[in-house]
């Protein structure tokens, strides 16, 4: 069975601080995909990134970066120089190869104050 | 492109009432699914479909029915609403078996009293 754990329920930071959101996953599959989604206060779910299990390269997109480590089954998300607009709930999710069904973590609420 | 459209956005039901949450997508996606979001629980899969005429259960299917008569539509039926079904419901779609990202609708907030 697959499982995604986001141990941080809520994180509060002050604008311009860096923040890392942790994600630990469990799966028996050798091929799998990891995702991050953002849910701003308006409620919609916004796709941020997809990573397959064979690609351990870190990825950077503007102020966002992701660190994938198979050795620790982690796929952490870092926001550099956080902004108030980054305030949202962030979900990490996992899917098996060939399936679009996602197993989600419980989410981390990030509050960025001015 | 409208993407994934869910209706209604809000709904209040009384215990025992039935209703259908509508979901339509215009991206010709084969895969469609329904999730419910509850505080502190993340998103949990209710039912999903890999194509017209094919549906399957997810993690929390009890109390819900689905059908997929067309590629575009994937309605979720509550036959006899219960307060435990108070939640925010999201419909999502994707191309299918290539692990492409899910496209989500904007959600339906359902309250059962």
pLDDT digits (tens, 9 = 90+) for A12-27: 999 999 999 999 999 9
CA distance B87 to chain A (A): 13
Instruction: For residue A95, list chain B residues with Cβ-Cβ distance below 8 A.
Output: 99
Q: Do residue A100 and residue B107 have CB atoms under 8 angstroms apart? A: no
In angstroms, the CA B13 to CA B83 distance is: 9
The residue of chain A with its CA nearest to that of B109 is A43
Instruction: Work out the number of other CB atoms within 10 angstroms of the CB of residue A42.
Output: 9
Question: pLDDT tens across A60-81, in order?
Answer: 899 999 999 999 999 999 999 9
Q: What is the pLDDT of residue B97?
A: 66
Question: pLDDT tens across B4-29, in order?
Answer: 999 999 999 999 999 999 999 999 99
Q: Name the average pLDDT for chain B.
A: 95
Q: Which residues of chain B form beta strands (DSSP E)? A: 4-7, 10-13, 19-25, 31-38, 42-51, 54-57, 64-66, 76-78, 87-94, 103-104, 108-112
Average pLDDT of span B49-62: 95
Residue B38: phi and psi, rounded to 5, are -120, 150
């Amino acid at each position: 069975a697959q499982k995604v754990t986001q141990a941080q329920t809520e994180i509060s930071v002050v604008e311009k601080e860096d923040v890392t959101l942790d994600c630990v996953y469990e799966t028996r599959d050798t091929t799998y995909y990891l995702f991050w989604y953002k849910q701003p206060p308006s409620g919609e779910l916004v796709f941020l990134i997809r990573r397959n299990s064979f690609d351990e390269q870190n990825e950077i997109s503007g102020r966002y970066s992701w660190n994938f480590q198979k050795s620790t089954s982690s796929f952490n998300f870092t926001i550099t120089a956080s902004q108030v607009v980054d305030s949202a709930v962030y979900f990490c999710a996992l899917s098996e190869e060939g399936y679009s069904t996602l197993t989600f973590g419980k989410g981390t609420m990030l509050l960025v104050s001015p | 492109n409208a993407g994934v459209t869910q209706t209604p956005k809000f709904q209040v039901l009384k215990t025992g009432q039935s209703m259908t949450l509508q979901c339509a997508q215009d991206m010709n996606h084969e895969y469609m699914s329904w999730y419910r979001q509850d505080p502190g629980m993340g998103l949990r899969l209710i039912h999903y479909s890999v194509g017209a005429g094919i549906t399957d259960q997810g993690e929390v299917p009890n109390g819900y029915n689905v059908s997929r008569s067309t590629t575009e539509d994937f309605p979720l039926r509550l036959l006899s609403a219960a307060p435990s079904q108070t939640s925010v419901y999201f419909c999502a779609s994707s191309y299918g078996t290539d692990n492409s990202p899910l496209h989500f609708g904007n959600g339906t907030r359902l309250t059962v009293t």
